[in-house]
Amino acid sequence: MKHTRIIPLLLAFVSLAALNGCKCACTTPTARTAPGPVVDLQEITVKQLRQGYLEGRFTVVEVVQNYLNRIEAIDRNGPALNAVVAVNPDALKTAAELDAELMAGRPRGPLHGIPVLLKDNIDTADPMPTTAGATVLRASYARTDSWVAKKLREAGAVILGKTNLSEWANFRASYSSSGWSGVGGQTRNPYVLDRNPCGSSSGSGAAVAASLCALAIGTETNGSIVCPATNNGIVGIKPTVGLVSRSGIIPISFTQDTAGPMARTVEDAAVCLGALAGIDPADAKTAAAQGHLHADYTPFLRADGLKGKRIGLMKNLMGYHYRVDDLTEQAAIFLRGQGAEVIEVEGPREGPIENDSFQVMLYEFKDGLNRYFAGLDGATPVRDLAGLIEFNKKDPVELRWFDQKLLEQAQEKGGLDAAEYRKALEAMLKAARDEGIDKLMDEHRLDALMAPTGAPAWKTDRIDGDHFTGSSSSLAAIAGYPSVTVPMGFVEELPVNVSFFGRAWSEPLLLEIAYAYEQGTRHRRPPKYIVTD
């Protein structure tokens, strides 16, 4: 890119006094320790953190404090990414408890001492609100942990804070700027600051890319993990719907919603996925995961994992950017060089499938959001979707930039017993599964499908909204099938990814392919926080 400059980051000299000026939606941690050593956290992996703890090179408290310093330097000041909306006041207390457990020889699990940021539509029992980016929920504090938060704690993770998102996970307006919310404002892309981080897991993607955490959790209905992953040059896993419980997550679609890991490496994402997977009686979809889930996905990571694989290159999901097409062809050449067969295939037209999916989302959003509101305490000023629409009309922030057409369309729908809903649900699942991914893979005897995840990040525009030119998320998202996206290269200074997706419960196979590709190409590189003149 022409006429650029790079913001220098003097992280070693960030003071604790600066932390006290944090502008997050919640208070900063009240517990403080001496500054201690500066830990080099840029690009550090879960394995490296765990090894450092075991060797006594740093403590969990020191790592958490250094991440808090980094958030203050990069997210609040410096480039001002605006990715983190709240830091956890209990983070340092939790870190001290984990240090004590480690000293006593009682590590909790594979994420012991690993700081994780959660998208702000995921409930935690910490003193942080769960807002979905909406001002109506600014004072909404969950009484209990979501499944995701509970499983992370059981694995030993430190919940470091909450990340900004596209408000209501980008299911609100007729057009929007991804990464904007009434609570958090606009998140910026750490590679080129006037570019968009994509959404709706915008803050999670930007935070991982900038090493503001070791891991982050995003959620996806259609594209909200994989698109922020490609725009921010990181790894994202959208699991099979049902592998990770959605209980305690503000919903859009019971049929399509899932949470998933966002990380800088496939290995880190795989470790996190194992911690999150499980069967939860509070989420009926997880019953289908019986016999398909794994507590540890790292045994499937093999550097020679491409040998003998048959992978279908989805040609109909290309053609929207010639430089992305060039990178995709280079990826296919690499796969062939590692012993894989890459077969060019054409998938089903996504237009009719997406139309049915949209109708399903309208119905399920109304039903799910009304249920979520009904479970909240009296601190929330509205009790249902109709009340939310009226609240927004009177709020000075909510309709400043964007409308609420999707909320209004959802409110017009009936219940889940409506014939229109049942017909759309049946049609979309048949088209995306039986006549889509499953048929395509059967006909060509494929292990996986691949396509570029999306185009390079566009310039953020709150007047005209997002400028998508193409993506490949819809087929797997609508089917409820898994997808793994991994860095594929750069267009100038903007990262782009390739996605590997396939049948339900094929996470082990997809991770094997993605890991082998990642290890053989090493496209990931940290952002430079470029400002364009």
Q: Which residues are identified as catalytic?
A: 119, 200, 224
Cα 296 to Cα 508: distance, rounded to the nearest angstrom: 10
Cα 312 to Cα 329: distance, rounded to the nearest angstrom: 12
Residue-by-residue DSSP string for 367-431: HHHHHHHHTS-TTSS-SSHHHHHHHHHH-TTTTSS---HHHHHHHT---TT-HHHHHHHHHHHII
| Burial class for 89, CB neighbours closer than 10 Å (0-12, 13-18, 19+) | middle
Closest CA to 401 of 166, 177, 87, 200: 177
Closest CA to 252 of 30, 418, 406: 406
Q: Which amino acid is at 262?
A: M
Cα 254 to Cα 228: distance, rounded to the nearest angstrom: 22
| Burial class for 386, CB neighbours closer than 10 Å (0-12, 13-18, 19+) | middle
Q: Decide: 71 and 18 in contact? Cβ < 8 Å.
A: no
Question: What does DSSP say about strands 235-238 and 483-491: parallel, antiparallel, or unpaired?
Answer: antiparallel
Q: Decide: 460 and 408 in contact? Cβ < 8 Å.
A: no
Token pair 């794994």 is found at 294
Cα 343 to Cα 332: distance, rounded to the nearest angstrom: 9
Closest CA to 361 of 432, 421, 414, 405: 421
